[in-house]
Structure 1
Amino acid sequence: MFKLAKISLAVVTVLAHSQVAYAEQSEAIASEAAAKVERIEVRASGLKREVVEMAGPVSVLSGEELLRRTDVSIGETLKYEVGVHANYYGPVASRPVIRGLDGARVQVVHNGMGTGDVSREGPDHTITADAVTAQQIEVLRGPATLLYGSGAIGGVINVVDNRIPQQRPQHSDTVIQTRFGTAASDRSLSFAHDNGAEQFAWHLDGNVRKGNDYRVPLYQNDEGDSSKRLQNSWSEHQVLNIGSSYIAEQGFVGVSYGIIKTEYGLPEGPAAAEEEGEYIKLNQRRVALAAEYRPVNSLWQSVTADIAFTDYDHAEFEEGEPGTEFLSEALELRTTATYELADSWRGIVGYHANLRDYQALGEETFTPNTDTDSHALFMLHEKRFGVIKLEFGSRYEQLTHQAYELTDSLGSRDLKQKFNLFSWSFGAVYDVMPNQQLTLSYSQAQRAPAANELYANGIHIGTRSYEIGVGYEVSNSNGATQIVHNPALASAEQANNIDLGWRGQFANISTNVNLFYNQIDNYAFLANLGFEIADFAAYQYQQQDARLHGMEASISWQITPEHQVTLIGDTVVARLRDGGYLPRVPSYRLGAEYAYRADSWGGQLGLTHYGKQNRLAENESATAGYTLLEAGLNYYFDWQQQEVMAFAKVQNLTNRLGFVHSSFIKEDAPLPGRQLVLGLRLSF
């Protein structure tokens, strides 16, 4: 950790000396960069900075690219982003994996506020945030704990939409979109409507989707059973959201209400029985309030307040009967104040609270009922010195778990555990020359283990295992297993992460390269113990020091105004400090895409290769590499004075069999086979 800090300090010292020589060029650099580099505001940054102002690695999916990539889940929508993979429990329950980290380390937020679901408690639980009506999706790779808490130690994904309007629309705006996919006869219809009158604005959106079991390339299990369908991978999805705001010259206040109803099957292997398989039925109701006040003639630029209350429940059905039910009520509050001083200091200070009441009911519950409360104070500041911009921030968070009727081999009892967490970060953006930037960021972030990582003790149908938390001592002798809880075994994680990046625009070529090194002390991971409990493989969360390092790179060449070629690549190596690899870490990836755009037509042809993963944890099997080919076509035209976009894409054009190494059920859940997706988007 101290070596990393010394490296960071040395690099920043060099940059600070260099800024004296380049100070006179800074204004010219800024103006030329603004002319050539696309300016995209990143809402998740807190200070609403643009991509080119960020010291840490960030990417934004929006516009036509978001429309092309939108899929049935956030994980599937983002899995082509550099540095992002998916853990894949079938297409519906597919969580993003950022630099080898997922689950309780990657925070998915909706307009900056948590989703309130239980997707982090198991890979079979879907994320309730939806990409269909999103305006943009922001991906912050690397620790983002300062604004979003210890659950963002691996990164943040912010789904941005206009559910609570912040500006009065100039005119009515309505978008209707429909699409159909052949692999699962997947059909969907979505809409979004924005309008306003005088000082009021309102928003309405919704979508419905239904799909059957997915077609996959022919595959078989170890017993020789084979199938061309991913059995029990069907889904049904319904969403409706409404919001309204009162908007004045110095700010706004708004409210939204949303409901989600989803049912989906839990994929089974080719030996699946013909009777009805296991499935999940979930309901979510969410109320959100947001307000912003912008003072006049004050050092305070804005004061904001956001509140979200989420009431979530889902039941897991077996043979048509509910077996386990998960209930979660979450209340989140964030208030911030942004300032700007006369000498160009900018910053944000705030308070963030998250209160959650989690219950698991039924005979197959594997975690006790737990209340989790967290309260935090944070600050983030930045200042430009000529051609170099520096930023730093810190966060203090107190998190408490209150577990009820925690059960082990000695009986049942209540338990309360408190974690005091401190995180800080430092970053620099150096304008080497016009449209070329060197970025550096260093952070030390702490995370408290999630409730399921601490207290799990039972059969988890989602992972098809007997799952045990990190706070237990486990012994197995002659088939008899003793599990005794010991709270002293659990510690907070501490990630020491350094990022070095290069962003450049050279004539018609743009590049983006990031190198990262992440040393995580007391890293909690689910390890295969090598024996069975109640006929299920036994897994336990264990804590060891780990090191993750890798790189991400992309280069785009605008050959002509109509033709563009893009190359991408990413890789991560995740080891335990004492030897061995971490489980379920994606392998390297290489990709290339050719895009054509002229007049009313656009098209894409992409090839992505996923390498073989043979860096294996104990009791883990290798995963073969595979290559996916994809092609797309877009056509824009006017119909009845309305803007229309028709699109088609073919996924997995060669019908290649592929298994996702980061999936808990990889042998039973291959990726979908060849699929044609047709869609139509109408704007008026």
Structure 2
Amino acid sequence: MFRATKISLAVCAVLAQSAFVYAETVDAADPMVTVERVEVRAAGLKRDIVDMAGPVSVLSGEELLRRTDVSIGETLKYEVGVHANYYGPVASRPVIRGLDGARVQVVHNGMGTGDVSREGPDHTITADAVTAQQIEVLRGPATLLYGSGAIGGVINVVDNRIPQQLPSHSDTVLLGRFGTAANDRSLSVAHDNGRGTFAWHVDGNWRKGHDYTVPRYQNDQGDSSTRLHNSWSEHQVLNLGSSYIAEQGFIGVSYGVIQTEYGLPEGPAAEYDDGEFIKLNQQRAALAAEWRPTFALWQSLTFDLAFTDYDHAEYEDGGPGTEFLSQALELRTTATYQLPDSWRGIIGYHGMLRDYQALGDETFTPNTDTDSHALFMLHEKRFGVLKLELGSRYEQLSHQAYQLTDSLGSRDLKQRFNLFSWSLGAVYDVRPNQQLTLAFSQAERAPAANELYANGIHIGTRSYEIGVAYQVQQAAGETVIIHNPALAKAEQANNLDLGWRGQFADISTTLNLFYNQIDDYAFLANLGVIIADFDAYQYQQQDARLHGAEVSISWHVTPEHQLTLLGDTVIARLQDGGYLPRVPAYRLGAEYAYRADNWGAQLGVNHYARQQRLAENETPTAGYTVLEAGLNRYFNWQGNELMLFAKLQNLTNRLAFVHSSFIKEDAPLPARQLAVGVRLNF
């Protein structure tokens, strides 16, 4: 349905390359109404968030500080439309509108993280929220800029690692935290300064935590525990960056190192000494440049280059069992234009080369090289009260698998996918500060290498994992697995978004309705059989439909008091009438916030419904309600900004399991805990 004709060269729409979002309050046409204006800058395209056709939310400032957790998934899990797949607190990926894994891309300043978090739910994301200035969430297909791996959405973590402006003064931020659930301690620092035409940035982060406490729970055999065994972690990060900044642009470089160790959570019968854990190392170098010429037509030219060298080893019984290596080179270059009193837009090229290897006796995917090359363009124009956005992207992606093994033997295989995506959006100003939005996109995604070629035991998910391009048969009491490349197809998502944004005096509202039909949707299904003593899961492709709603209402009762209500739901069905696995149930939430003088306080509640819409061989998950409370105190200490904060999480000590988790029965959410911290800015 909605099949598009492939073309060899196409034009594409983009939202943000390294999107920088900031908020300012402006007077509305009605003097009694003020509305928060959030402007999104995408490679020179400056657009106010209220003028964007697609749904976007931003976490920044004090709210980001309060929400920051040990992983991106845990940091964003209370954003409307966003949940987490929760493989323990450290390995927790965002789930957007029921989609995660290879369909939700986490990027750092608009460029891919280069890790292997999308190859398994037990793999952590290397992007860090601790020193981020803001985190942007693009809900819905974002393939036009970020490629086929963003068919479900994009998380963009923005920091100042490569400065783009000369700082007016030296700025240093120290942040320390302590949490009782895991006795976790963390310390981070970020420093920005400059001299003459040069600016530089340094940041670092250290964190260490033990096993998390959880409300008492037990497994089917009666074993119980008040600890999430093997949920410990250690984390160190150091980043350096510098830029030469002139009147017409800048050029800058950065270098970062990450070292992380963390356990893979186990059930209440586990023995800590025998636990499996991951050792991760990553080095990343990046270059960014922008030139703003004085030509009448072209506004800016940008160039971004990032190289990531990543490896992690999965340890069992004290020794490495499997090692994952990934080297990725990514390039993006854009040109922004403005026609007098007419269209404006952006054109560009996006390329990525990746060398992925899995080594060891328990590897379940072959070594694979992935190459991707794309051309894209965006156009937009305002016609009075109506603003139009349109564009498209053409991408060629190829996988080269080495020594792919099945029941017939071993061989090399290369597969190529030609992918075309396009979008059309409109924003209609019903009246000042009230907009109707409509966006339709058709996006294509090539299956990831693990979705195509997996064939073996995946220790992290405790399963025997099989790719989509295999035929699985039982013959003479044995399982026969034969690879057939003709079985793999590109997904095509046809997504329709209808939105409303309104400001009424002291009340702001946002409502989004979406319908997403995905042809040849690839999902990991439980086959209901045992292979090599593990439950067998295989990626299968069927047409699927996902639809739902997202709503957020914020009421400034007085300048000091604010009440926010939110809710989201998604229903994900297969064409044959069954449901997709690991899809979150509906959620309702509320938060009261107080801010006056030198004090701030928050009280929040989130209710997650029982999930009974189940895939084959999937079990239901009970609903639960979690309460949180926070308190902030602000000081002027020797002319510097000092903030003390405390947060109580899971106040009622509720035993809660996350339906979207692959190990939900073994990994409940943390018990009641107190987190305290201090932030000093000087």
The residue type paired with residue 101 of structure 1 is: L
The offset of 1:639, in angstroms, is 1.2
Report the alpha carbon displacement of residue 29 of structure 1 after superposing the two structures with TM: 10
Secondary structure at the aligned position of 1:645 is classed as strand
* Structure 2 CA distance for aligned equivalents of residues 184 and 658 of structure 1: 17
Q: Which residue of 2 aligns with 1:239?
A: 237
Identify which of 203, 212, 216 aligns with 1:214. 212
Query: Tell me, what secondary structure is at the counterpart of 2:145?
Result: helix
Aligned pair 1:148/2:111, yes or no? Answer: no
What residue number does 1:89 align with? 87
Q: Which secondary structure does the structure 2 equivalent of 1:453 belong to?
A: helix
Q: Conserved in 2, the CA contact under 8 Å of 1:497 and 1:519?
A: yes
Q: Distance in 1 between matches of 2:144 and 2:47?
A: 15
Residue type of the partner of 2:625?
A: T
Are 2:114 and 2:327, in contact at CA under 8 Å, matched by a contact in 1? yes
Output one character per residue of 1:222-243: Cα deviation in whole Å (capped at 9) or x when no partner. 1110000000000000000000
8 Å Cα contact 2:362/2:456 also seen in 1: yes
Name which of structure 1's ranges 301-310 and 43-52 shifts more when overlaid on structure 2.
Answer: 43-52
- Find out whether 1:550 has 2:548 as its counterpart: yes
Aligned to 2:512: 514
User: In the alignment, is residue 264 of structure 1 matched against residue 238 of structure 2?
Assistant: no
In structure 1, distance between residues paired with 2:419 and 2:269:
47
Quick one: structure 1 residues 126 and 552, their matched pair in 2 at CA, closer, same or farther if it must change by over 3 Å?
same
Deviation sequence 1:570-601 (CA, Å, 0-9, x none)? 00000001110000000000001111111000
State how far apart, in whole Å, the 1-side matches of 2:553 and 2:139 are: 18
Does 2:343 match 1:334? Answer: no
Q: 1:335 to 1:32 in 2, by over 3 A?
A: farther
1:319-398 mapped onto 2 (5 Å cutoff): 319-398=317-396
1:295-335 Cα shifts (integer Å, max 9, x gaps):
11421110000000000000000011011000000000000
Q: Summarize the alignment of residues 43-192 of structure 1 with structure 2, pairs less than 5 Å apart.
A: 43=41, 47-192=45-190
Residue number among 432, 439, 444 corresponding to 2:437 in the alignment:
439
Distance 1:352 1:94 in 2: 28
Gaps (5+ residues) in structure 2? 5-25
TM-superposed deviation, 1:428: 0.5
- 3-state secondary structure, aligned to 2:592: strand
For 1:252, the equivalent position in structure 2 comes to 250
Aligned residue identity for 1:81: E
- CA apart distance, 1:44: 5.6
Deviation at 1:33, TM superposition (A): 11
Change (3 A) 1:369 1:204: same
Distance (whole Å) between structure 2 residues aligned to residue 314 and residue 138 of structure 1: 27
Equivalent residue number for residue 10 of structure 1: none
Cα distance, 1:217–1:334 mapped onto 2, change above 3 Å = same
In the alignment, the residues of structure 2 paired with residue 683 and residue 29 of structure 1 have an alpha-carbon distance, to the nearest angstrom, of: 30
Contact 1:46 1:147 in 2 (8 A): no
The AA in structure 2 aligned to 1:108 is V
**Preserved contact between residue 33 and residue 434 of structure 1 (Cα < 8 Å):** no
Deviation at 1:477, TM superposition (A): 4.4
Q: Which moved more, 1:48-57 or 1:36-45?
A: 36-45
Greater helix proportion: 1
Q: Secondary structure at the match of 2:47?
A: coil
Counterpart-to-counterpart distance in 1, 2:260 and 2:86: 18
Runs of 4+ deviating beyond 4 Å: 1-4, 28-35, 43-46
Residue pairs, 1:435-514, within 5 angstroms: 435-477=433-475, 479-514=477-512
1:403-448: CA deviation from partner (whole Å, max 9, x where unpaired): 0000000000000000000000000011110110100100000000
Superposition map of 1:575-594 within 5 A: 575-594=573-592
Whether 2:405 is the aligned partner of 1:402: answer no
Paired with 2:231 and 2:136, the residues of 1 have a C-alpha distance of: 28
Q: What's 1:15 paired with?
A: none
CA distance in 1, matches of 2:346, 2:146: 14
Secondary structure of 2:486's match?
helix
Q: Secondary structure at the match of 1:195?
A: strand
Which position in structure 2 is the counterpart of 1:647? Answer: 645
SS of the residue corresponding to residue 223 of structure 1 reads: coil
**What residue ranges of structure 1 are gaps of 5+ in the alignment?**
5-27
SS of equivalent to 2:271: coil
Instruction: Give the whole-Å Cα distance in 2 for the aligned partners of 1:67 and 1:76.
Output: 13
Q: Structure 2: which amino acid aligns with 1:621?
A: T
Offset of residue 71 of structure 1 = 0.2
Give the residue type in structure 2 aligned to 1:57.
Answer: P
Matched residue SS, 1:75: helix
Report how far residue 276 of structure 1 moved: 3.4
CA deviations on 1:333-373 (whole Å, 9 max, x unpaired) are 00000011102311000000010000000000000000000
Contact kept? 2:33, 2:505, Cα under 8 Å: no
Aligned partners of 1:659, 1:43: CA distance in 2, in Å? Answer: 38
CA RMSD of aligned residues (A): 1.5
Whole-angstrom distance in 2 between the partners of 1:234 and 1:59: 31
Partner of 1:672: 670
The equivalent of 2:565 in structure 1 is 567
CA distance in 2, matches of 1:124, 1:381: 40
Check 1:414–1:178 CA distance in 2 against 1; reply closer, same or farther (3 A cut).
same
**For residue 598 of structure 2, what is the amino acid of its counterpart?**
S
Q: CA deviation at 1:47?
A: 2.4
Q: Matched residue of 1:394: which SS?
A: strand
- Name the SS for the 2:45 alignment partner: coil
**In the alignment, is residue 224 of structure 1 matched against residue 229 of structure 2?**
no
Residue 30 of structure 1: CA displacement? 7.8
Given that 2:33 and 2:503 are in contact with CA atoms closer than 8 Å, whether structure 1 keeps it comes out as no
Amino acid at match of 1:263: E
The number of aligned residues is 661
Answer whether contact 2:396 2:418 (CA < 8 A) is retained: yes
User: Helix, strand or coil: the match of 2:473?
Assistant: strand
The residue that corresponds to 2:412 in the other structure is 414
1:524-577 CA-partner distances (Å, limit 9, x unpaired): 000000000000000000000000000000101110011111100000000001
**Alignment correspondent of 1:193:** 191
Q: CA deviation at 1:273?
A: 1.8
CA distance in 2, matches of 1:200, 1:122: 41
C-alpha spacing 1:45/1:66, structure 2 compared with 1 (3 Å): farther
**Does the aligned pair in 2 maintain the 1:108–1:114 contact within 8 Å?**
yes
CA contact (8 A) 2:69 2:129 kept: yes
Query: What is the distance in 1 between the residues matched to 2:122 and 2:35?
Result: 40
**Within 5 Å, which residues of 2 pair with 1:30-45?**
36-43=34-41
Matched-pair contact (CA < 8 Å) for 2:353–2:371: yes
In 2, Cα distance between equivalents of 1:46 and 1:321? 50
| Structure-2 separation of matches of 1:523 and 1:48 | 34
- Give matches, 1:593-612, under 5 Å: 593-612=591-610
Q: Distance in 2 between matches of 1:120 and 1:191?
A: 29
State whether residues 467 and 540 of structure 1, in contact with CA within 8 Å, keep that contact through their aligned partners in structure 2: yes
Q: Could you tell me the TM-score, scaled by structure 2's length?
A: 0.95
Distance 1:217 1:276 in 2: 23
